Amino acid sequence: MELKEEKPVADKITIGELHLSGCTGCLVTLADNYEGLFKLLDDYADLVYALTLVDVRHVPEMDVCLVEGSCCLNDEISVEELKEARAKSAVLVAYGACAAYGNITRFCRGGQWNQPGQEAFVPISEVVDVDLYLPSCPPCPQAIRNIAVMAYLLLKGNDEQKALATAYLTPLMQLAQRGNEACGCDLMYDVINQGLCMGCGTCAGTCPVRAITMEYGKPNVNRDLCIKCGACYSQCPRSWFNFDVMNNYEGIIDAINGAMK
Amino acid sequence: MDVLGNYKSVISARAADKDIQKKAQDGGIVTTLFAYALEEGIIDGAIVAGPSDEPWKPEPMVVTTKAELLAAAGTRYTISPNLQLIKEATRSYGLDRVGIVGTPCQVQATRKAQLYPIGMRDVDDKIALVLGIYCMENLSYQALEAIVEDHCNQKMESVKKMDIGKGKFTVYTERGAVSQMPLKYIHKYVQPGCHVCLDYVANLADISTGSVGSPDGWSTVFVRSNKGNAVWDGAMAAGLFETKDMEGVKPGLDLVKKLATEKITKNQKHVDERKSFGLKADGTPKALRNPYETP
Ligand code: SF4
Ligand code: SF4
Ligand code: SF4
């Protein structure tokens, strides 16, 4: 196979990944699209900033910035880079549960070798405004792929594509406005307590740490296991269900598959 | 979208296989379609409601053979949280092509999992066949228990058959007793989440089915997606169904449409009432959360 370096396609969008206090699982998730990642980079997006994947030392201008990890308030560089990323990007995404909700870093009490003074880890929205949330730990390759394709359509598509991308991305943008605390308890507070749960089982099927079991038709959360990733609530069909997008599921799945061919 | 959703065709059908007809109530459509899809390799397993260690309490299970599928067949009276296994089916069970059956809300959950696979790694393209069952409302297990043990005064473990029809909830026991509860009492037992449900005939399924609209022992089948269409055509070509033109059957599509309209109108009203459920200090209404507007 011949390898050649092609010039970037002119109308691609630019995407970067800013790595804060995360485990790199989110970055690996991007790569877990395998050949899909190459397709994204060939046709839709230039990766302009990312740990180990791109040799750029300083936060550049970009259309979409994916922020991985929570922000350590005791680490000046993290705070500075996060603010710089906000200033230099059109769309800032809390990519993964640590950035969105703190996730496992919520449990940090400091005193760790070799940075004992670092103890204050917050979701990035404590420091900067965030446009879009992609919860879960780790996020799913297919979810970030869909968001990348939709971001491309939003910024470079025709009117119809822009409308579709807007409709698709809206709930994820609303999620960013909803708040930066997540827990399996959200299923109680905002689904069951609101009289909205119908026992479908999605939350239990979603939880990455198997903290949820279905007991007599309702989720039961083992709160000691919960890492506060927000996947259960955002995946629940009763957190949001946007008929304008869902009714067109067949067309959208075909369009995404087509875009990735 | 119309209350009946998009569909390519609607047919009245029942399984040609007498065993399936006997085992599965109301036409055996789901069992036959999954059996066909398993045999053809369209799916390599399906998530269905199976028995649990408590009487009449369904539990989701993954079946990978026709025998397992037949063993699990039958109508359930409370919801089985089938989505619980959707990721697991692709992991512990190693399935690449998953079939799933569910209520309209579960079909919605499945489509959301495909379009927004937030916590559903490597699941979206492994969902190969989604079958939907009509649903007016559902009961929790404890509600079913209250109806059977309190209203009907029978033990759950002694019940052989339950049946809803002619304005009554009827239970038949192993030893031949028949007890009934007027259906009007069922209202307070409906799970609250069902009151905001805006789908009756699983509009987002590949194929959806239910007994309403067709004669006893037959089902009304909506073939909806391209995938559903291919599976249905294949099963028809294999002679797995007896069918009747929907135009000719009684009570017919009008009844399905009537019930769908009634359900959706009633529940849309409930969704709207939630918007002005409470009262703010300034005298304006205070809303409950609306999942159709924002998370
Ligand atoms: S996903 Fe939502 S509606 Fe479904 S069982 Fe869990 S909390 Fe209830
Ligand atoms: S219960 Fe599970 S899915 Fe929900 S927030 Fe906790 S860890 Fe995440
Ligand atoms: S009425 Fe709706 S919410 Fe309730 S079980 Fe049926 S499909 Fe689900």
| pLDDT the model gives residue B22 | 82
**A178: number of Cβ within 10 Å:** 19
Query: Among all chains, which residue has been given the structure tokens 């909700």?
Result: A101
Q: Is residue B4, in this structure, part of any structural domain at all?
A: no
Residue B196 touches partner A, C-beta closer than 8 Å: yes
Domain boundaries, given as residue ranges, for chain A: 13-180, 185-239
Same domain, B123 and B77: yes
Mean pLDDT of all residues in B136-158 = 95
The residue that leads in pLDDT, B253 or A113, is B253
Same domain, B159 and B118: no
CATH class, range A185-239 = alpha beta
Q: Which CATH superfamily is domain A13-180 in?
A: NADH:ubiquinone oxidoreductase-like, 20kDa subunit (3.40.50.700)
Same domain, B37 and B170: no
| pLDDT the model gives residue A3 | 47
Same domain, B170 and B183: yes
| pLDDT the model gives residue A1 | 42
Binning pLDDT at 50, 70 and 90, where does residue A87 land? very high
User: Rounded to a whole number, what is the distance in angstroms from the first to the last CA of chain B?
Assistant: 22
Which residues of chain A make contact with B119, given a CB cutoff of 8 A?
135-136, 140, 206-208, 229, 231-232, 234-235
Number of domains in chain B: 2
Binning pLDDT at 50, 70 and 90, where does residue A156 land? very high
Residue where one domain finishes, among candidates B152, B167, B189: B189
Q: Least CA distance to B54: which residue of chain A?
A: A216
Cβ-proximal residues to A208 (8 Å cutoff; 6+ apart), any chain: A136, A137, A138, A227, A229, A231, B119
Binning pLDDT at 50, 70 and 90, where does residue A5 land? very low
- Domain span including residue B154: 139-189
pTM over 0.90: yes
A208 lines ligand 1 (CB under 6 A): no
Distance B102 CA to ligand 3 centre (A): 10
Same domain, B22 and B143: no
Instruction: Give the one of A140, A202, A218 whose C-beta lies nearest to B121's C-beta.
Output: A140
Same domain, B21 and B165: no
A157 lines ligand 1 (CB under 6 A): no
Which residues of chain A make contact with B198, given a CB cutoff of 8 A?
243
Ligand 2 site residues (CB inside 6 A) read A 182-184, 206-207, 209, 211-212, 221, 226-232
Instruction: Give the one of A171, A217, A229 whose C-beta lies nearest to B78's C-beta.
Output: A217
Same domain, B28 and B166: no
Ligand 2 atom 8 nearest Cα: A229
> CA-CA distance, A32 to A29, in Å (whole number)?
5
Is the ipTM beyond the 0.85 threshold? Answer: yes
Angle at B226 between CA B225 and CA B228, to 5 degrees: 60
